[in-house]
């Protein structure tokens, strides 16, 4: 069964460093998403991406964040200058259409020290 994959599973970085989180969405899906989940809290929407551009973003997705689909299979989230409060699980998801069910990857645990 097709699934969303994410790498790395765990990333430790120092405050102020840049990180890139990688995702491979399900191959026939057209919509891609990033979410954040701080430990013990609910999943929070960051951004949706369609047709090589951002379609929606939340107030969390500020100028330190960017997304890219560098090739036909990968979807990346870049955090330019990490802060302690960026420590969280980051999930990638994809869907066939905007109002269809989304399928989530296993997540990347980001720890900023």
Partner 1 sequence: GQQLNQSPQSMFIQEGEDVSMNCTSSSIFNTWLWYKQDPGEGPVLLIALYKAGELTSNGRLTAQFGITRKDSFLNISASIPSDVGIYFCAGPGNQFYFGTGTSLTVIP
Contacts with partner 1, residue ranges (CB under 8 A) = 4, 33, 35, 42-45, 48, 56, 58, 89, 91, 98-107, 109
Say how far residue 103 (Cα) sits from the centre of its chain: 13
Complex with partner 1: residue 18 or 37, whichever CB lies closer: 37
Tokens representing residue 69 in the block = 């689909």
Is 104 buried (19+), middle (13-18) or exposed (0-12) by CB count in 10 A?
A: middle
* Least distance from partner 1 to the Cβ atom of residue 86, Å: 18
Q: Which is nearer to partner 1, 34 or 79 (CB)?
A: 34
- Residue 94 beta carbon to partner 1: minimum distance, rounded to whole angstroms: 12
Count of helices and strands (H, E) across the chain = 0, 11
Q: 24 or 106: whose CB is closer to partner 1?
A: 106
């Amino acid at each position: 069964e097709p699934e969303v994959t994410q790498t790395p599973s765990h990333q430790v970085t120092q405050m102020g460093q840049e990180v890139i989180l990688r995702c491979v969405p399900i191959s026939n899906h057209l919509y891609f998403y990033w979410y954040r989940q701080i430990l013990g809290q609910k999943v929070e929407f960051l951004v949706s991406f369609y047709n090589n551009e951002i379609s929606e973003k939340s107030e969390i997705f500020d100028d330190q964040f960017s997304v890219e689909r560098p090739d036909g299979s990968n979807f990346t989230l870049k955090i330019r200058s990490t802060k302690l409060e960026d420590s969280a699980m980051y999930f990638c998801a994809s869907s066939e259409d905007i109002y269809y069910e989304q399928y989530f990857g296993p997540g990347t645990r980001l720890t900023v020290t």
